[in-house]
Copies of this chain bind each other. A is one copy, B any other.
């Protein structure tokens, strides 16, 4: 399979340049040892007050019933392709701080920090993660008994990039086009909003 290295304006670490989110997954399991290391990587992320507001629910194809249950918590448009991944997961956030029961403004952000760590660890092992916002949080709450104060926020498909059977052509095509991003002067500012930092204009 062709891979999609980021076309960077400044050099970055290869694990960050190599990462992308495929729709096509190979029919090949991810080992239990690899999955443990992925979640271990998430574990060591930073978080506000070291709250560690993230939890994950994971299902692999080794257990078809549980896999189908978790898959049903994704929106239909994501089920179409995520069903080919050997492992799928939900990212769940605790919305209040444990130490004082006040709103944790950083909770959702910190789930992002943890999941990004997971993705880096995956890439170091040749494993791709396609994260999703398109999930059904209420259905996840019902099916997995997620308690009040916690909420499913993200989905992820985890596996090896490869040819997937019966994937719509539009998704195969999306996997083949180059990755695109705004250039740094559009989002790295100094002195005032919208003023490109002199750092990134050289």
Contacts and interface: CB of A to CB of B under 8 A. Distances in A.
22 contacts: A8-B44, A12-B40, A12-B41, A17-B44, A20-B46, A39-B184, A39-B200, A45-B116, A48-B133, A52-B187, A54-B187, A60-B199, A66-B190, A106-B133, A106-B154, A109-B115, A112-B115, A112-B116, A113-B131, A116-B116, A144-B189, A145-B192
A153 interface: yes
A37 B17 CA distance: 11
Given A145-B193, A190-B58, A109 B112 contact: yes
Given A32-B202, A54-B187, A202-B32, A109 B153 contact: yes
Q: How many copies does the complex hold?
A: 2
- A interface, size bucket: 35 or more
B56 A188 contact: yes
Chain A binding surface SS class: mixed
A131 B117 CA distance: 15
A108 interface: yes
Contacts of A188: 39, 55-56, 58
Contacts of A136: none
Contacts of A6: 44
A166 interface: no
B11 A56 contact: no
Contacts of A131: 46, 113
A169 to B, nearest CB: 20
Contact of A191 (B66, B146, B190): B66
